[in-house]
Amino acid sequence: MSTRNLSEADLTDAVLARLERCEDPRFKELMTALIRHLHAFVREVGLTEAEWFEGIKFLTATGQKCDADRQEYILLSDVLGVSMLVDALNHKKPTGATESTVLGPFYVEGAPDLANGASICLSGGGEPTEVRGRVLSLDGKPIRGAVLDVWQTAANSLYSSQDPQQERYNMRGRFRSDDKGAFFFRTVKPVSYPVPTDGPVGKILNAMGRHPMRPAHIHFIVSAPGYEPVATHIFAKGDPYLDSDVVFAVKNSLVADFKPKDGGILEVNYDFALKPA
């Protein structure tokens, strides 16, 4: 197809025709849909040149805000609901399996391996909390040696990767389930917090009239040989943002009660059930 004298009516078809020699069928499928939807968006809204250039500047600024500890594009995906849509399409769970939710932009690899009962809190502050539970198969059998990669904000509402005053792996650790599938670690009660608003994503949230808050939660990646790993959260029951999470990640099955026990300590119990690989 000639690319001369193209108009609004035939430009999309001309661009799609350039995919004829693409040898990767999945890549061709993705690019075909992307081009069609992007062109349809431009037509639907009557996009102006000034608006398109603002979009280019936004994407440029988003990339410039990314570094080893901050992924602004993941944050953008999260607040637009794309992360949870991809999660829903790719992680359909059978009845009884622990539901997944967003990984988020603040996961850091290399957290230390800690013994059951150890504390991930290196900075002090907050309400002392014990987290207990088991890792089970779908038929209720304990899974020995499952790895629980855990992370959360400190009491000041910041992750260690956001806060130069915190040690690198503060509020982070990896635990293994015992012969009974049980795990146990100490921390502080998580707090609700705002996603970063000092970058392009913050400007988008402000322009949409949306708040930036996430309800209090602890992140987990739970994995074991022969089972499908799950990236998920435990959310704190009663948090005021459970019904308006900025990244749309709350599921009823992931909300748990942080109950007081003797000595001014809180305790939360939660069992994870893994789907066979």
Q: How confident is the model at residue 4 (pLDDT cuts 50, 70, 90)?
A: confident
Could you give phi then psi for residue 18, rounded to 5 degrees? Answer: -70, -5
Interval 220-235: pLDDT, tens: 999 999 999 999 999 9
Q: Identify the pLDDT of residue 58.
A: 97
DSSP classification of residue 99: P
Q: Identify the pLDDT of residue 74.
A: 94
CA distance 13 to 258: 57
Could you give phi then psi for residue 207, rounded to 5 degrees? Answer: -65, -30
Do β-strands 230-236 and 217-223 pair in parallel, antiparallel, or remain unpaired? Answer: antiparallel
Average pLDDT estimate for 15-20: 94
Domain 72-274 sits in CATH at: 2.60.130.10
Q: Identify the pLDDT of residue 3.
A: 76
Interval 103-155: pLDDT, tens: 988 999 999 999 999 999 998 789 999 999 999 999 999 999 999 999 999 99
Q: Identify the pLDDT of residue 1.
A: 64
pTM higher than the cut 0.95: no
User: Residue ranges of the domains in the chain?
Assistant: 1-47, 72-274
CA distance 28 to 22: 6
Q: Identify the pLDDT of residue 124.
A: 79
CA distance 45 to 50: 13
Q: Is the pLDDT at 2 greater than 90, yes or no?
A: no
Burial label for 140, CB within 10 Å (0-12, 13-18, 19+), is exposed
Give, rounded to a whole angstrom, the gap between the first and last alpha carbons of the chain: 47
Nearest Cα residue to 180 out of 141, 147, 131 = 141
DSSP classification of residue 254: G
